[in-house]
Amino acid sequence: MVKKIHSENMYQYIPSLVGGQVEADYIHQDIGGYKDNPFIEALPPIFEDHQVISRIAKYPDYNEEQRKLGKQTRLHLVQQISDYVEPLPSHLLVEQRLSRLIRHGYKARNPLARESIRQFHIGFKDILDAGIDSNGMNIAGVRSTASGFAILGVSGQGKTTAIESSLLLYPQVIHHVEYKGQPFIRKQLVWLKLNCPFDGSLKGLCFNFLQAIDSHLETNYFQKFASKGASVDMLIPIMAHLSTLHGLGVLVIDEIQNLSFMKSGGAERMLNYFTQLINTIGVPVVLIGTFKAMRLLSGSFSQARRSTGQGDLIMDRLTEGEEWDYFLESLWKYQWTARRSPLSGAIKKVMYELSQGIVDIAVKLYMLAQWEVLEAYETGDEKISVGLLKSVAKRHMQLVQPLLKILRRNDPNLLSLVDDLYPEWNVLDQYLKKSSEKVNIQGEIRTKIIRDDKVEQDQEKYIELVKTAIDFGANSATAEQIVQRILQTNEAEKDLVDLRKQVVEEVTLSAAAEDIINPADESTEQKSNKSKTKRKQNGAIILEVDDLRNAALGADKGSDAIYEKLVEMGSIPSNDDISRLII
């Protein structure tokens, strides 16, 4: 008995997220595939975007009168900002994926279907061992409709907040008693979120799973199955059995980058098990981690069936501009200083420099700045300034400063050293190539051109450059060819002004070369040619001073020299002219 207690204490589990429990209330379904399935009909209605926004937003309790309260009270009020959640596009994407994932996964797992019941008679060890046939069916005749996807991104950008906010829109446990006049006693577990064990062991995950089930359903599976001699091979079929019995809608595993600390082969074994859950048992799986996990997930998990076409989601730090301004303007409303500090352009810029678009760092910096101001209450100088923000970041956020400095320098050689904040491009490229669905990219990384047809590129940059090429005389086909060539031969971080300069160079040189190689037909351009060209007695051609062909005279001139000559002639804009173009 002592040994058993010791074993349970060794794997003490604390739920990271606990949802609500409700009695089943079956709702009419408009989608045919969702009808006559108690697991789907008991779910809340499908949420529209405005409903998601109103439900996941978390705003501090705030009104202007609170500015008149005492310093200590206001210090407490500032603490509320730590719970602040401003719905962003990425939150909506996560909820949409989760909504489809859960419902579509249940389609093949109707608890009243004969195939579902047959699985319990066959046994889940035999089902897992047999796998699926050429038609995608397991040996019980169930063809999985489940899928899996991953959410990867920079640490502190709100991946966990996004998934947890979406999960909490659904009850965690639904108690069924009767369905359509027939007894149906079942505890349905709609979702389960676990953190990957720090040691990354599959056995630790199995133990956490059993303890989580017990915690939410008030069962005793851990005590029953997790004996001292329980092996992973014994525990995995039990997990599959319980997932089916309790209708697990989705299994979410957070901190998946912990797998990188495992011994060789361990990560692959765990990912293979997740793939088995999806393909064989039909349980959807969502994996969450930092960029460090990208190398791990580019293997077996990417082969999991994705019949709903969810695709993975990459959440990088916010881009400076409209996205950043929206976030900061929303956050800046919550200010408890006696004197309101306006959000100036300079403050927006320095907030981005000091946080590099990482939401968690920006929120903490804003809190620290207000506390700093309130501590100066005696002087009455309660104002948030650029200087104050820099001072607070330097004194109170020293641990993250080296990493932020690397991000600011944007040096690829240094960025590769911080794999939690920035992906290794060769690993990202392989990850994207192996993905079976298009990857949705949000944030700063979206501005970088990935050379793969499955990736959402920065279309705005592409369109702007094509427009520039057309404005300087290229036809649409030539403009697209020039822009594609330039984007493929430049670093992804290249500034738009520099890219525009190259586009103008290419267009102008292309036109000049075409004019030299294929001069205009005299019969159609006679007047133009005569006005610009006359011949010497020795046959040499004399060109007018504004003729573009002057720039190409001299066989030893390269493209740079020709470009400089064209600028000198005033035929194309200079670098300063291009930099003044509206972006």
Question: Domain extents for the chain?
Answer: 89-315, 322-410, 444-509, 548-580
Top-confidence residue, 519 or 171 = 171
How far apart (Å, rounded) are the C-alpha atoms in residues 71 and 337? Answer: 9
Q: What is the mean pLDDT of residues 110-130?
A: 89
How far apart (Å, rounded) are the C-alpha atoms in residues 311 and 101? Answer: 11
- Highest average pLDDT, of 114-118, 476-480, 507-511, comes from 114-118
465 Cβ contact partners less than 8 Å away, ≥ 6 residues apart = 483, 486, 487, 496, 499, 500, 503
Q: What is the mean pLDDT of residues 285-295?
A: 85
Residue where the block lists tokens 């058993």: 4
pLDDT digits (tens, 9 = 90+) for 157-187: 888 889 999 999 999 999 999 999 999 999 9
The H or E element containing residue 193 is strand 191-195
Using the predicted structure, report yes or no on whether residue 513 has a pLDDT greater than 70: no
167 Cβ contact partners less than 8 Å away, ≥ 6 residues apart = 17, 19, 98, 191, 193, 252
Please indicate, yes or no, whether the overall pTM of this predicted structure exceeds 0.75: no
Mean pLDDT is lowest, of 107-111, 482-486, 546-550, 563-567, for: 546-550
Using the predicted structure, report yes or no on whether residue 413 has a pLDDT greater than 50: yes
Tell me the CATH number for domain 89-315.
3.40.50.300
How far apart (Å, rounded) are the C-alpha atoms in residues 481 and 486? Answer: 9
- Compute how many other C-beta atoms are within 10 angstroms of the C-beta atom of residue 433: 15
Q: With cut-offs at 50, 70 and 90, classify the pLDDT of residue 309.
A: low
Using the predicted structure, report yes or no on whether residue 456 has a pLDDT greater than 50: no
pLDDT digits (tens, 9 = 90+) for 76-117: 999 999 888 888 888 898 999 999 999 999 998 999 999 989
Top-confidence residue, 167 or 130 = 167
Instruction: Judge whether 440 and 313 are in contact, CB under 8 Å.
Output: yes
Q: What is the mean pLDDT of residues 549-570?
A: 55
Q: With cut-offs at 50, 70 and 90, classify the pLDDT of residue 464.
A: confident
Instruction: Judge whether 386 and 347 are in contact, CB under 8 Å.
Output: yes
> What does the pLDDT read at residue 570?
56
How far apart (Å, rounded) are the C-alpha atoms in residues 412 and 416? Answer: 6
Angle (CA) 446-103-279 rounded to 5° is 80
> What does the pLDDT read at residue 366?
93
pLDDT digits (tens, 9 = 90+) for 495-508: 678 888 888 888 88
